[in-house]
Amino acid sequence: MNFKKPNYWDRQIGLISIVLLPITLIVLIVNFLKKKLIKPEKFNIPIICVGNIYIGGTGKTPTSMLLASKLSKLERKPAIIRKYYKSHLDEYNLIKNNAEILITNKSRIEALKKAETNFDIAILDDGLQDYKIKKDISIVCFNHGQLIGNGLVLPSGPLRENLSALKDTDIIIINGPRNKNFENKILNINKKLEIFYSLYKPINLDQFENKKLFAIAGIGNPENFFELIEQNNLKIEKKLTFPDHYKFSKPEIQEIVEEAKINNYQIIMTEKDYFKINHYNLDKINYLKVALEIDGIDKLVNRINKI
């Protein structure tokens, strides 16, 4: 499913959000009933769930990849588990390109059963709202640019479930600078939360220095990508956004390349978007390579490794 979030999700509560509240109420009731009625299944390997409450663009997959890499260095055998969606091939390719073990299935439970035979820890990339699975540690990711948006649950707002769900969470990772007000807000819900901060560190900036950039993003929160570019003193001449998991056609990309050539732009994409189009073998397209860094990563990984 191609998804481009509506603007009203990150604004103060307005008319559209209020009109949609009856549907939001139904979503809340369904979530409540699922939690009460579904008995979660326990597995023979630890399940580390990396999820979110704000829908899309919070860094779940980079966090899962980083944790898998760190655990491998501690001689663990981690597998990243994803529910299979045909439209999410971009993220699957990104994981595989970084040499992490990925197991996908239309059923997360079946994927976890497969992981039990050859691996000793499963990192569930997404699945916080899959109440059929017993998680040993639940990690919730936020991005400082959006946090909880207007604070309402779908479709009135961008939240998959009410913020009170953090009562069942162990760890919070916030991508961005420290936010004491938000810390206090979530600690009032669950005082046992451990809070970590992360950031994306670009590692190929020299390719884009002193160039007029044509920035393209088909991710959950493209503004975060643009902000990262500009924070590193690079100049964006034009921005182009697409829905999350957008599938680019070759003629579409060729048109973008031609526009860049005419205007002497350098195209810069997210790594995830690049892996959607690299099979077209087109020149003049580069992506910003980033490394996720988590402050206190050793403490976080050691807690997971003790399970």
Shared domain for 218 and 257, answered yes or no, is yes
Domain annotation covers residue 30: no
* Adjacency order of strands within the sheet including 236-241: 236-241, 213-217, 266-270, 285-288
Q: Which helix (H) or strand (E) holds 272?
A: helix 271-277
Structural domain span for residue 218: 204-288
Shared domain for 160 and 213, answered yes or no, is no
Instruction: Give, in degrees to the nearest 5, the angle at Cα 257 between 252 and 262.
Output: 125
Taking alpha carbons only, the member of 176, 230, 241, 296 closest to residue 3 is 241
Q: What is the CATH number of the domain that holds 186?
A: 3.40.50.300
Distances (CA, A) of 176 to 59, 74, 147: 11, 27, 10
Shared domain for 152 and 240, answered yes or no, is no
Strands 121-125 and 137-143: unpaired
Domain annotation covers residue 263: yes
What's residue 102's pLDDT? 96
Distances (CA, A) of 125 to 142, 188, 199, 240, 283: 14, 26, 19, 28, 33
Domain annotation covers residue 25: no
**Number of independent structural domains in the chain:** 2
For residues 5 and 56, give the distance between their C-alpha atoms in angstroms, rounded to a whole number: 9
Return the sign of the alpha-carbon dihedral for residues 151, 153, 154, 159.
positive
Domain annotation covers residue 6: no
| Helix and strand element counts for the chain (H, E) | 10, 12
Shared domain for 277 and 138, answered yes or no, is no
Domain annotation covers residue 23: no
Shared domain for 85 and 214, answered yes or no, is no
The terminus-to-terminus CA distance of the chain in angstroms comes to 35
Shared domain for 50 and 127, answered yes or no, is yes
What's residue 307's pLDDT? 86
Q: Are 81 and 127 in contact (CB under 8 A)?
A: yes
Q: What is the CATH number of the domain that holds 267?
A: 3.40.50
Q: Are 163 and 193 in contact (CB under 8 A)?
A: no
pLDDT digits (tens, 9 = 90+) for 164-216: 999 999 999 999 999 999 999 999 999 999 999 999 999 999 999 999 999 99
Shared domain for 233 and 176, answered yes or no, is no
What's residue 77's pLDDT? 97
What's residue 4's pLDDT? 75
Structure tokens at 241: 């956004």
Shared domain for 154 and 46, answered yes or no, is yes
Q: Which of the residues in the chain have pLDDT under 50? A: none
For residues 141 and 222, give the distance between their C-alpha atoms in angstroms, rounded to a whole number: 17
Shared domain for 112 and 237, answered yes or no, is no
Shared domain for 153 and 85, answered yes or no, is yes
pTM above 0.85, yes or no: yes
Shared domain for 211 and 256, answered yes or no, is yes
Q: Are 124 and 47 in contact (CB under 8 A)?
A: yes
What's residue 284's pLDDT? 80
For residues 48 and 126, give the distance between their C-alpha atoms in angstroms, rounded to a whole number: 10
Domain annotation covers residue 76: yes
Taking alpha carbons only, the member of 278, 273, 275, 254 closest to residue 215 is 273
Instruction: Give, in degrees to the nearest 5, the angle at Cα 42 between 134 and 197.
Output: 35
Shared domain for 180 and 142, answered yes or no, is yes
Domain annotation covers residue 156: yes
Domain annotation covers residue 271: yes
